[in-house]
Structure 1
């Protein structure tokens, strides 16, 4: 199968595919810009760097950010919208990060956000590089197989309001040109060869490192960052983060159905951010761990085959671009070890305790900004009002109180 999303221009040059082994350290004073993309181990790296930020200066390295992930700054730099209902990032977020980077002086600085992969054009990429230090910038791209990224990325989109089922979403991403609906960001991030090409045009192939993540080596990415930054081995340690786990099929389907109700009743996006994503979903992920009995999101065979073919083409093209490749490029076309047939949604059943934790998370988020009933009673009673209207009114009242707070 060939689609527009699998075609590309000719390779840049005839450089070898790459090598496997520990990389040489980057020059002191480098601005190491890790651009992701999403679902390639970014959260693990950001958590480990942030946890070790007080130890890094002793080795000539700085992590110039006040949080694990400077997401708002990256979104502002790329002129991208915030997640559904979140506060819109402003230029101030980006300016603040630039000031923190500039304050590192001659030390090596590492900046990491997967949202840098969302930079849509050459002008934006060039401006980001120029503002971060120009020739001092070295770009790091971490990659995983598309076949493994797709289910994880779909459930993440559902956490941001997507209502489309997995197989329908796959059909749009792989079979329906121009492959931009319902999520135009997917191939901007995950057509990895074109992603690398965009950044080559800004910094040159000699200042780009591509790391192929091997899921069998759980700490391999941490060790690679240590080598690139000239840090002692095992200085960077994994940081458990339950909030970053992927949802199970049942959890995702429950949320997807809720998204349909939410949109169907015309509730405001800010309420979704407050009560659903940062309330119900966050509490559910923090308190409920998937078990062996939970049904996982499985990709149908036709989509696995298509994704593996795209991965093989991307690996070949990246290998010919002259960038440094760390790891085995053949992994980019790898399929799950036991690809499953098309998933049976009927097998996904949400456990009562999981649903209870999700409901409690929404209630706790609402309670943090309680609704005060200051208006006089209306002529109609609750029992005389339709459920759809009640939900809409309640949502707008909650939002009004949240804004006032």
Structure 2
């Protein structure tokens, strides 16, 4: 059984899309990807760790136990994959492994990992996309603070501290049942990460259909700054469920992330040096533990910046304004679409009410209605109806 526990922003969405889209085909070949909806394993992970998630945790109740039951009943290889499993506490790990049949069933833990210089701005942006208004400078200060204050720094390190994550998930496993999959550095072939997934999960002998990679580009500096400002104004008045659809999906993913000409998020020089030193320490620790590696641990060392650092706390206001115009346009287009949907629904409701009213009329009245409808569709009938109305005088 393959248990893929993260980390976020390492190609996990594409892997999960392929596995979910091919789940029936893979099952017919003996490989189980247990999910009946695209976010099924995400809900199971939420349930396992009892995480609040904008109301989705209510849908998640019982999802982990249901998944674990399917796994125990399956006689063959299984893949479970979600990046938030990286944040599991030791008690969650113990429960998860026991419910999946460990130690009687062999569990192989896999973690896909990427260098911190790319992970840090990506994690801050995810915070912004989840309603937070924290400045980037404050975020950087908090994650570098050894005390890890507040909520943001602990979550960041729970999801990104690779040695600690594997220390929790692999505490009771031999090193040869643990595999790291490194995300290639900038400029690598686009399919290289997928080939590493195939090798790590033993997918080479299975037949499946690959899909176009899900478009999930990061927002640039002015776009993220705009969204952070919007959060400060809208978070208190927009319910979480509506925020997810209108802000995170419509604005962030489908509008602002498509503005690829904007300056990209990065880190200041001093943060780059700190992340580089930390990565080298991680590499030494991981090598000492003897875990398997698909790729190269050197991928965890950050590449030098190719462009000048652009501070999202001090963006160029013209760029923010241009992003705001596109965002407002997207909202207007969506509002227009919803007005059309509303009009169609109102028309359908009116027809349904009329049909219900007609069905409830006595037989004599229903006969009159049918006669009127029959006559109104014919020229002679319409003339007769007009003569009748004139004969009755003003209403």
Corresponding position: 1:153 with 2:120 = no
- Alignment correspondent of 1:75: 46
Corresponding position: 1:45 with 2:15 = yes
Write the deviation string for residues 156-209 of structure 1: whole angstroms up to 9, x where unpaired: 111111101212211211146325543421001111111111112132322111
Corresponding position: 1:109 with 2:82 = no
**Deviation at residue 355 of structure 1 after TM alignment:** 2.9
**Deviation at residue 358 of structure 1 after TM alignment:** 4.0
Aligned runs of 1:59-70 on 2, under 5 Å? 59-69=29-39, 70=41
* Alpha-carbon spacing, 1:191–1:369, altered in 2? closer, same or farther (3 Å): farther
Matches of 2:279 and 2:38 in 1, distance apart?
30
- Alignment correspondent of 2:349: none
Write the deviation string for residues 358-390 of structure 1: whole angstroms up to 9, x where unpaired: 4555786899899x9xxxxxxxxxxxxxxxxxx
**Deviation at residue 124 of structure 1 after TM alignment:** 1.7
Aligned runs of 1:194-209 on 2, under 5 Å? 194-209=164-179
Higher relative contact order (CA 8 A, sep 6+): 1
Corresponding position: 1:273 with 2:233 = no
* Partner secondary structure for residue 109 of structure 2: strand
* Alpha-carbon spacing, 1:317–1:329, altered in 2? closer, same or farther (3 Å): same
Corresponding position: 1:294 with 2:301 = no
CA contact (8 A) 2:196 2:295 kept: no
How many residues of Structure 1 are paired with residues of Structure 2 in the alignment?
A: 332
Corresponding position: 1:162 with 2:135 = no
Aligned mate of 2:286, from 297, 314, 318: 318
- Alignment correspondent of 1:119: 88
**Deviation at residue 342 of structure 1 after TM alignment:** 4.6
- Alignment correspondent of 1:392: none
Matches of 1:217 and 1:367 in 2, distance apart?
44
CA RMSD, aligned part only? 2.8
After TM superposition, the structure 1 stretch with the greater mean CA deviation from structure 2, 285-294 or 162-171, is 285-294
- Alignment correspondent of 1:356: 329
- Alignment correspondent of 1:178: 148
Q: Which runs of 5+ in 2 are unaligned?
A: 347-395
**Deviation at residue 275 of structure 1 after TM alignment:** 2.5
Aligned runs of 1:213-292 on 2, under 5 Å? 213-215=183-185, 216-227=188-199, 228-232=201-205, 235=208, 237-242=210-215, 244-263=216-235, 266-267=236-237, 271-284=238-251, 285-286=253-254, 290-292=258-260
Aligned mate of 1:335, from 303, 306, 313: 303
CA contact (8 A) 1:59 1:231 kept: no
* Partner secondary structure for residue 88 of structure 1: helix
* Alpha-carbon spacing, 1:185–1:289, altered in 2? closer, same or farther (3 Å): closer
Matches of 1:200 and 1:289 in 2, distance apart?
36
Matches of 1:245 and 1:205 in 2, distance apart?
34
Matches of 1:221 and 1:44 in 2, distance apart?
10
Matches of 1:336 and 1:362 in 2, distance apart?
43
* Partner secondary structure for residue 180 of structure 2: strand
Matches of 2:96 and 2:28 in 1, distance apart?
28
Write the deviation string for residues 73-98 of structure 1: whole angstroms up to 9, x where unpaired: 1011122222x354435441112212
* Partner secondary structure for residue 44 of structure 2: helix
Q: Which runs of 5+ in 1 are unaligned?
A: 1-30, 373-405
- More helix per residue: 1 or 2? 2
* Alpha-carbon spacing, 1:113–1:262, altered in 2? closer, same or farther (3 Å): same
Matches of 2:231 and 2:55 in 1, distance apart?
13
TM-score by length of 1: 0.74
